[in-house]
Structure 1
Amino acid sequence: MSVSLRVGVLALQGDVREHLRALTECGAAARPVRRPGELDQVDALVVPGGESTTISKLAVEFELLEPVRKRIGAGMPVYGSCAGMIMLADEILDGRPDQQSFTGIPMTVRRNAFGRQVDSFEAPVAIDGVDGPPFHAVFIRAPWVERVEPGVEVLGRVVAGEATGRIVAVRQGNLLATAFHPELTGDRRVHQLFVEMAAAAG
């Protein structure tokens, strides 16, 4: 993969460094994005895990909400993990009344669906389009997808425990989202998938 592919990580809150490291290991030129001018300099964007209401608030304060929405509308590839999945959803359940998202994926996501921080867990998730064994997924105050509209591809579901069958990975066009945190593991297959998506988008 050529390092000419510039992938930004929204650096307002959350596990930014881990995503930067993972993207670099996948051959992308990774850089933090905090301002509209920095957004203009990247080909694709990762919205990291963290706290979705805080990311929403800071995106407004840093004047990034509308620029990111416009770039998504223009076809920019975006990957959202955990809170990033919430930020890409057209509808959020259990969010704050003033919470806004970047939108882009016509799906309904339930915030903190798996419970509080103490309810964090790890589980195998098989992801369509990713070769190899099931992904060892880390869920931390994670959302899940309640429903998707036609055209949204369900890539992964929980395969064990009380949440069996819940949707935790989706894709629509150049947009990818997971309810779990692949950046917290050494498995780079999800990031590699996104880098390949971004490269194919030109």
Structure 2
Amino acid sequence: MDTSEGTRLEALLADFAGRYVAVARARLQLRTLSVTAQSRDGVVEATVGAGGGAPRIRFTGKRCGEMPAADLAQDILDALATARAEAATRVDTLTRDAHAWSPVRTASAAGSVPGTRGTSTPSAPPDAGHRPGTVGPPAEERPVTCWGRMVREARTVVAGHGSGPDGGAAGSAAGSGGRTPTRAPAPPRRTGPPAPERA
């Protein structure tokens, strides 16, 4: 394997690592996403999550007790519809950004619906200078570490490949920390006819 192929392998592994981190971060944001919207008159406030289900309804003043039931019901429906539309927009944006991520950092603009606010907004994946463990919960550290180790092992294998008749084995041993893999001894094989059974 020549240098160009080794470089391309490193780039592919690094790209996979970046995509993994982007998807993991998007999943975390989806779990914590919450959108709150008000009715046009501000009487009703509705909060929904990423799935749009299990909404929380809150009445913001005493006016709700003076309103006709039909108007109050319409306010609830309006607030729910606005919150769910904004939640769906943010989910689509998070999903699109996670799957279309590239090493070139681009700004991602989430859709915004007037009268809404949220607790989770899309963020770009960490750039090349990101150091694992500095930002984000522990769940985001493990993929970066695993992929970094894979890139280092791939680089070691590429560097040791083709250096001699045992180049592949040497590369594998170096990639596993310098330890030569050992096999368990095979059980002894019997030769000759089986021993006669005793009565």
Greater C-alpha radius of gyration = 2
Identify which of structures 1 and 2 has the higher relative contact order when contacts are C-alpha pairs closer than 8 Å and 6+ apart. Answer: 2
Instruction: Compare the two structures and name the one with the higher strand fraction.
Output: 1
Shared fold (TM-score, shorter chain, > 0.5): no
Please identify which structure carries the higher helix content: 2
Length-normalised TM-score, structure 2: 0.20
